[in-house]
Structure 1
Amino acid sequence: MKTSALFIVSLLYSIFASAQNLCADNQKLTEKTSFEITAYGTSNTLVAVTNFNVSSTFNTLSGRKAIIAQIDKDAPTQEPQNYYSLECADSTLLINNRNIIPAYVFEEYSNMNFDASASSIAIPKKLDVGQKLSNAAYEIEVEVAPITHRLHYFLTDRIVTAKETINTPAGTFECYLIEAKTHMKPRNNNTGSVKQWFAEDIGLVKQVDYNVEGAITGINLLTDLKF
């Protein structure tokens, strides 16, 4: 098994724990922030552990942005393997993060390198139950030497369905639940749905993917968070 230092996925989104701190007045997200996402596949098997450190934060013309370094937990060195970003721009949170990648992708392509740095998912900074969101697409590159495979993870009919309290190893969070229909190309047999929990000032806390029959195919969970 290869643990990966990812969400893609998202929704997201993402991504990208501590994402909404970029929009907070106190700007808690700093170079001291680190977090961990653990991915579980079918039968609740551990398939990936993703570690992230905030490498820099800065103001932009439309808001604020953070650069996130990905470090594979089982890599030979603890040098960053990739970089992602979280950006608060105007009224939208842009999440570019491999945490949105469904856990079943890590399970299916174990011991391979993943890259989702070319895609972002947009989420309004302010959410309300019943709010409909725009469709989203996430491109995932899987390196199978000497070939790079490209997968596309689509989220459609996205809607905010509830506000819930979620308990995780990283803490307890008040979250907005966003649900969507999903499908993966070229693997159309992975059609299904996803539930994603986002917390204010935290970002993605939990993501659960389901197949078309409603069985769980993967879980991405926030398992550590340090400011």
Structure 2
Amino acid sequence: MKTLTLIFSFFLVTSTTLSQDCSKYYPMEEGTSFQYTMTNKKGKTEGVTDYSITNVENSGGVTTATMNMKFTDEKGKEIMVSDYKISCTGGTVNIDYNSLVPSQMMKQYTDMGVEMEISGTDIELPNNLKVGQDLADANVAITIKMTGMNMTIKVDQLNRKVEKKESITTPAGTFDCFLLTQDNISETMGVKQTMQSKLWLAEGVGMVKQESYKKNGDLTNQMQLTKFNN
């Protein structure tokens, strides 16, 4: 179940970073690599995710990139590796959600008689972001089907808004960012939880930093860009 949670988290990061026009907010170029470090409310590292674009192809007006993703835990142990494809056409990015699941893990689940489906609505981040702008809602869901039981984990991202522009510094550098805020309503087997999040987004880079808060405003975790190479 921990692995499923990781996949779900990776989807949110990926969609936040890549569901944009592929020329303005993200350099969809072969060889680009970037890293995010996740910390808890006390600043203790909980894991590191490394991404790299290993191949880019252009055909018929469609750009398709192959993304490699590797997650290591706080002890440096490799937990999950996956390759998946992202395509961009007409300023819209599409993610092959099911390819986020590593093939070895998918085979393991299939051998156990478990089926898994990942679906969602791409997060829209138009090129003409401006302070005060309201953005469209989005969602993601993971459905696990097994003998005698079905389980769905889903999150709705609501009330998305561009709050302001500000400069943010992380170990990867200093970036001029838009600050976006939103409400995240998650539901697992009928149990709902509401959290707020802040996202700092820079042109040509994507997500620079993200913070999640409880409903009462207490910080729960943070993710920030710690490496970026293109």
Equivalences for residues 2-81 of structure 1 within 5 A: 7-10=10-13, 13-16=15-18, 22-24=22-24, 28-59=27-58, 61=60, 64-73=63-72, 74-75=77-78, 80-81=81-82
Aligned to 1:110: none
Per the alignment, residue 219 of structure 2 pairs with 216
Q: CA deviation at 1:45?
A: 2.5
Q: Aligned residues, how many? A: 199
Distance 2:162 2:218 in 1: 21
Q: Does residue 163 in structure 1 map to residue 165 in structure 2?
A: yes
Q: Distance in 2 between matches of 1:46 and 1:215?
A: 18
Q: Shift in Å at residue 48 of structure 1?
A: 1.7
Q: What 5-or-longer segments of structure 1 have no aligned partner?
A: 98-114
One-letter amino acid of the counterpart of residue 34, structure 1: S
Q: 1:9 to 1:220 in 2, by over 3 A?
A: farther
The structural deviation recorded for 1:29 is 3.6
- Please provide the CA RMSD for this pair: 3.5
Alpha-carbon contact 1:13-1:198 (below 8 Å) kept: no
Q: Secondary structure, in 3 states, of the residue corresponding to 1:14?
A: helix
Distance in 2 between residues matched to 1:116 and 1:140, nearest whole Å = 6
Structure 2 unaligned regions, length at least 5 = 98-115
Q: 2:208 aligns with which of 201, 205, 210?
A: 205
Whether the aligned pair in 2 keeps the contact of 1:70 and 1:84 (CA below 8 Å) is no
Question: Structure 1 residue 83 and structure 2 residue 84: aligned?
Answer: yes
Aligned partners of 2:32 and 2:208: how far apart in 1? Answer: 15
- Higher normalized helix content (fraction of residues): 2
Q: Does 1:128 align with 2:123?
A: no
Match of 1:108 in 2: none
Is the Cα–Cα contact under 8 Å of residues 164 and 176 in structure 1 kept in the other structure?
yes
Structure ID, larger Rg: 2
Shift of 1:214: 0.5
- 1:163 deviates by 1.0
Q: Contact (CA 8 Å) 2:84, 2:96: kept in 1 or not? A: no
The two structures have a TM-score, normalised by structure 1, of 0.71
Conserved? CA contact 2:66–2:83, under 8 Å: no
Query: In the alignment, residue 138 of structure 2 is paired with which amino acid?
Result: A
Whole-angstrom CA distance in 2 between matches of 1:197 and 1:151: 25
Asked whether the 8 Å contact 2:21–2:91 carries over to 1, the reply is: no
8 Å CA contact 1:37–1:221 kept in 2: the answer is yes
Distance 1:121 1:158 in 2: 10
| Bigger shift: residues 39-48 or 173-182 | 39-48
What whole-Å deviation, never above 9, does each CA across 1:55-78 have from its counterpart, x for those lacking one? 2223365653422111233228x9
- The TM-score with structure 2 as length reference comes to 0.70
Paired position in structure 1 for 2:112 = none
Q: Where do 4+ consecutive residues of structure 1 move more than 6 Å?
A: none
